[in-house]
């Protein structure tokens, strides 16, 4: 699979089969992702993989918080505001999902808080002593995971909801207080029978976002 093919194959999958991922496959993906670039080779990512009973406890705690309407409080702050252009793109998601997924779109919020029923979530952390600049490097690392996954028949989704309750993650994954949980990438085998996975978001025309100078 070429890089271009991997970019096209990658999509945010929101419902997964319960099938466990072979440990050797996960190790191969995470090992290959280590080649992601980072500022002065700092490699600032620290990774915790939640699966099995541990992920089950995390999922149960998240669902309880969701049903009790506990506000999410990720350690990497959400943006204070969005531009009009970014808000326009966000607003297009729900109508598109309703169009492509029908009634299955009603699962959206609960699936998010069930961590998409994925068999594993890769939590990527960074030392609190580092600046936000290192988040760029974490993004490169996560993108590498997501581009590698399709070659193994796996799907992924990076989602803010995976890190909404960092107290749960620090407790269940024994993450030191010196680390911030930046993002989680759910990974597994797509549940192709769930219509929620019919949706694929659109992209802007390249001419509206790229300017060339000569």
What's the pLDDT tens digit per position in 132-146?
899 999 999 999 999
pLDDT of residue 23: 96
Q: Exposure of 12 by Cβ count < 10 A (0-12 exposed, 13-18 middle, 19+ buried)? A: middle
Q: Please determine, for residue 123, whether its predicted confidence score (pLDDT) is greater than 80.
A: yes
End-to-end CA distance of the chain: 34
pLDDT of residue 15: 93
How far is residue 182's CA from residue 160's CA, in Å, rounded to a whole number? 9
Helix, strand or coil, per DSSP, at residue 122:
strand
Q: What is the pLDDT of residue 208?
A: 86
What integer is the mean pLDDT of 187-191? Answer: 96
C-alpha–C-alpha distance, residues 42 and 4, integer Å: 27
pLDDT exceeds cutoff 90 at 161:
yes
CB atoms within 10 A of CB 44: 20
Work out the average pLDDT over 66-91: 90
Q: In the prediction, which pLDDT does 205 show?
A: 87
Q: Which residues contact 38 (CB under 8 A, 6 or more apart)?
A: 44, 45, 134, 137, 140, 141
State yes or no: pLDDT of 79 exceeds 90: no
Q: Starting at the edge strand that comes first in sequence, how are the strands of the sheet with 155-159 ordered?
A: 46-51, 120-127, 179-188, 155-159
Euclidean distance between CA atoms 147 and 54, whole angstroms: 26
Residue-averaged pLDDT of the chain:
92
Q: Is the pLDDT of residue 128 over 80?
A: yes
C-alpha 135/C-alpha 82 separation (Å) is 19
* Gap between the Cα atoms of 156 and 164, Å rounded: 18
This prediction has a pTM of 0.93
The CA-based dihedral angle spanning residues 160, 164, 168, 173, taken in that order and rounded to the nearest 10 degrees = 20
Q: Please tell me the predicted confidence (pLDDT) of residue 204.
A: 85
Other beta carbons within 10 Å of 54: 15
Which of 103-107, 152-156, 208-212 has maximum average pLDDT?
Answer: 152-156
User: For residue 199, what pLDDT is reported?
Assistant: 79
- Look at 104 and 38; give whichever has higher pLDDT: 38
The proportion of the chain whose per-residue pLDDT surpasses 70, expressed as a percent, equals 100
Q: How many CA atoms lie within 13 A of 187 on its CB side?
A: 31
- Answer yes or no: is pLDDT of 200 > 90: no
Query: Can you name the CATH fold of 3-76+84-197?
Result: NADH Oxidase (3.40.109)
């Amino acid at each position: 699979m070429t890089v271009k093919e991997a970019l096209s194959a990658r999509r945010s999958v929101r419902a997964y089969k319960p099938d466990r991922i072979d440990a050797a496959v996960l190790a191969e993906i995470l090992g290959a992702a280590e080649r992601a670039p980072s500022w002065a080779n700092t490699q600032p990512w620290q990774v915790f993989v939640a699966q099995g009973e541990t992920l089950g406890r995390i999922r149960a705690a998240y669902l309880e918080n969701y049903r009790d309407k506990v506000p999410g409080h990720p350690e990497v702050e959400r943006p204070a505001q969005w531009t009009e252009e970014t808000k326009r793109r966000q607003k297009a998601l729900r109508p598109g999902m309703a169009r492509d997924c029908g009634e299955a779109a009603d699962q959206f919020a609960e699936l998010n808080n069930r961590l998409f029923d994925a068999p594993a979530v890769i939590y990527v952390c960074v030392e609190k002593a580092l600046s936000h600049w290192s988040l760029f490097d974490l993004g490169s690392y996560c993108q590498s995971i997501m581009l590698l996954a399709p070659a193994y028949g796996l799907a992924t989704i990076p989602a803010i909801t995976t890190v909404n309750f960092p107290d749960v993650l620090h407790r269940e994954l024994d993450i030191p207080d010196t680390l911030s949980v930046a993002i989680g990438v759910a990974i597994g085998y797509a549940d192709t029978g769930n219509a929620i996975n019919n949706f694929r978001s659109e992209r802007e025309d390249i001419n509206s976002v790229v300017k060339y100078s000569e």
